[in-house]
Structure 1
Amino acid sequence: METKHEIVICLGSSCFSRGNKDVLEIVKEFLNEHDLAAEVFFHGDLCGGKCENGPVLQIDDQTFSKVTVDNVYEVLNDYFEVEQEK
């Protein structure tokens, strides 16, 4: 099955120290809970140079800044609701 979406989480030291390890776990949980794991290529990447806006999460061609455990679920839910309506 070919994936339809890509989620990239920054694993650079700045984003990682700001909590991206916990954000990573929440993204995995979200994908499993919503049966999206097979449709989404989720992976980490090295620093993209946006440290001042970190933690950074990219979904397809959209970049989300200052993503935390407090707002990542909302970011994912809002994004995938929009995508499902298309």
Structure 2
Amino acid sequence: MGDRVELMICLGSSCFARGNKATLKSIQKFLEDHDLKDKVNFHGGHCFGNCAEGPNIKINGRLYTHVNEFKVIDILTNELL
């Protein structure tokens, strides 16, 4: 992995109410467990404008919808490992 991966989680009220708090914890644990904190720029964004499809995350600009604390592990495994 050359450049750092850009990983954003939507922290808008709709996504957060639908479970992005648990997804946030899953992402943090995944990055720590796989020693990826220095390779991934992980941060929150206010709203991705796709509330009806939330919870949402973006990896290098690619939008993932209907993400939950379990689905995010599969996404991160495919994208980062």
The alignment's TM-score, normalised by the length of structure 1, stands at 0.87
Residue ranges of structure 2 left out of the alignment (5+ in a row):
none
Alignment partner, residue 71 of structure 1: 71
Amino acid at match of 1:32: E
CA RMSD of superposed structures (Å):
1.4
% same residue = 41
Alignment partner, residue 48 of structure 2: 48
The alignment's TM-score, normalised by the length of structure 2, stands at 0.92
Q: SS state of the match for residue 66, structure 1? A: coil
Looking at structure 1, the residues matched to 11 and 31 of structure 2 have their Cα atoms a distance apart, in angstroms, of: 19
Looking at structure 2, the residues matched to 22 and 36 of structure 1 have their Cα atoms a distance apart, in angstroms, of: 19
Alignment partner, residue 7 of structure 2: 7
Aligned-residue offset at 1:80: 1.4
Alignment partner, residue 20 of structure 1: 20
Spell out, residue by residue over 1:35-81, the C-alpha distance to the aligned partner (whole angstroms, 9 max, x if none). Answer: 10011110001011100110000011211000001211011101113
Residue ranges of structure 1 left out of the alignment (5+ in a row):
82-86
Name which one, 1 or 2, has greater alpha-carbon Rg.
Answer: 1
Looking at structure 2, the residues matched to 48 and 80 of structure 1 have their Cα atoms a distance apart, in angstroms, of: 22
Runs of 4+ in 1 over 4 A off after TM superposition: none
